[in-house]
Amino acid sequence: MKEKILRALREHGDGFVSGAFLCSQFGVSRQAVWKNITALKENGYEIESVTNKGYRLLNSPSRLYAPDILSRLPEGCLCQKVECFDTLDSTNTKAKQLAEFGGPEGTLVIAETQTAGKGRRGRNWNSEPGVGIWMTLLLRPELPPVKVSGITLLSALALTKAIRELYGVQAEIKWPNDVILAKKKICGILTEMSSEENYVHYVVTGIGINANTASFPKEIEETATSIFLQTGKKIDRSELIADMIHIFCSYYEQFVKEQDLSAFVEEYNAVLANRDQEVCVYYGMVEQSSPENMDRGIARGIDRDGALLVEIDGRLKRIVSGEVSVRGVYGYV
Ligand code: BTN
């Protein structure tokens, strides 16, 4: 009900929505509407109520709130369940627990902060409270396990599109897991799955977005940035979450139906950082690289299975994501 009321209030913008309209629209009593409006106010929503006019939404809190995010998703979206927490160890770990207990596909787990946020390759993920977006989507794709990495690529693509549309900045993808702005990382993606040889039980796609972060720890300040730092504007995290999830879900459904990324290759390659530029491919930890475990070539884009095609000595080599890092010749991008 709160989600429906928020949707109706937002749809009316600056205008009032009458109590009678809300009652007839949702088939509930005036008292039920009033109770839900009171609950929304208690959660920080500033709602004006004027006799004979109705209700008007004046302000929303910055704290993430499940009914708010649901109210921004279109009806029929794969994501029908959102769970918001103040603190979790890791949204990926929570999503995996929910999956083990039969949680439905499309469940979105969000935390204001993580005490043990996980990055790729066992690294920690810095999850400062209140400023970032730390979330994980639970999926149950009918895909062979080898194709699951496509979900990471589509998450990056959906976020890149959402950021470009909402803020008019040139977000790009650093294949396969990162979204960047001005050559610095604003998002990392960690996809984990539970599978048998040829069957996927579930997938959790964890997405960490530096949304309103104002500064970074010394160790990462050279390579990390935030949408706020790049646009100069504090962003509405709920809006970005809903936009990205909406785009992702439609991409995901098409991907599962078609079983490959053909439909997305062109769009992906158009926003691929380093396309047609020289890159280094490290087969192992970048920090421990040697000439024997790296290649140098020109990145030409992804193929329909999500592999990066790198031209080395005139021949295209397929680089498959996994324990591989691709960097620019002079640094992170
Ligand atoms: C990386 O770039 O190394 C991947 C980072 C992934 C971070 C996100 S934050 C939400 C989700 N929960 C986690 O513990 N990790 C992912």
Whether the link from the prior residue into 129 is cis, omega within 30° of 0, is no
The model's pLDDT over 152-201, given as tens digits with 9 standing for 90+, comes to 999 999 999 999 999 999 999 999 999 999 999 999 999 999 999 899 99
Going by the DSSP 8-state scheme, the letter that residue 212 receives in this structure is S
Q: For ligand 1, is residue 241 a contact (CB within 6 Å)?
A: no
Query: What are phi and psi for residue 98, nearest 5 degrees?
Result: -60, -40
Determine the atom of ligand 1 nearest the C-alpha atom of 121.
3
Would the pLDDT of 121 be above 90?
Answer: no
Intra-chain end-to-end CA distance of the chain, in Å: 46
Tell me the per-residue pLDDT of 13-31, one tens digit each, with 9 for 90 and over.
Answer: 888 999 899 999 889 988 9
Enumerate residues 6+ apart whose C-beta is below 8 A from 101: none
Nearest Cα to Cα of residue 243 among 72, 33, 76, 117: 72
Separation of alpha carbons 225 and 216, rounded Å: 8
Percent of the chain surpassing pLDDT 90: 83
Question: Which two tokens mark 306?
Answer: 């999500």
Tell me the pTM.
Answer: 0.94
**Tens-digit pLDDT profile for residues 305-314:** 999 999 999 9
Residue 321 — very low, low, confident or very high, per pLDDT cuts 50/70/90? confident
Partners of 299 in the β-ladder: 310
Distance 236 CA to ligand 1 centre (A): 20
Residue 9 alpha carbon to ligand 1 centre in Å? 34
Contact at 8 Å (CB) between 273 and 173?
yes
* Radius of gyration of the chain measured on its C-alpha atoms: 21
pLDDT the model gives residue 285: 67
Ligand 1 binding pocket includes 321 (Cβ within 6 Å): no
Phi/psi at 327 (5° precision): -130, 160
Cα gap 173→225, rounded to integer Å: 14
Q: Give the number of other CB atoms < 10 A from CB of residue 99.
A: 22
Lowest mean pLDDT among 48-57, 191-200, 236-245, 287-296: 287-296
Q: Does the structure show a pLDDT above 70 at 323?
A: no
Q: Could you tell me the maximum CA-CA distance found in the chain, to the nearest angstrom?
A: 77
3-state secondary structure of 163: helix
Instruction: Concatenate the DSSP letters of all residues of 44-81 into one string.
Output: T-EEEEETTTEEEEEE--SS--HHHHHHHSPTT-S--E
DSSP 80-99: -EEEEEEEES-HHHHHHHHH
Where b means 16+ CB within 10 Å and e means fewer, 277-297 reads: eebbbbeeeeeebeeeebbeb
- In the predicted model, what is the mean pLDDT of residues 41-52? 93
- pLDDT score of 109: 98
Closest ligand 1 atom, residue 127 Cα: 9
Closest listed residue to residue 307, CA positions, set 281, 278, 330, 277 = 281
- Parallel, antiparallel, or unpaired: how do β-strands 133-139 and 107-114 relate? antiparallel
Query: From ligand 1's centre to the CA of 69, what distance in Å?
Result: 20
Q: What is the model's pLDDT at position 289?
A: 66
Tell me: the pLDDT tens digits for 262-273? 999 999 999 999
Q: HSE-up of 101 (CA within 13 Å, CB side)?
A: 6
The secondary structure of residue 104, as a DSSP letter, is P
Query: Rounded to 5 degrees, what are φ and ψ at 155?
Result: -65, -45
Pocket test for ligand 1, best of 134, 135, 173 (most atoms within 8 A of CB): 134
How far is 139 from 152, CA to CA, in rounded Å? 12
pLDDT at 286 over 90: no
The angle formed by the CA atoms of residues 108, 110 and 114, to the nearest 5 degrees, is 140
Q: Are 309 and 300 contacting, i.e. CB atoms less than 8 angstroms apart?
A: yes
Are 185 and 174 spatial neighbours (Cβ–Cβ below 8 Å)?
Answer: yes
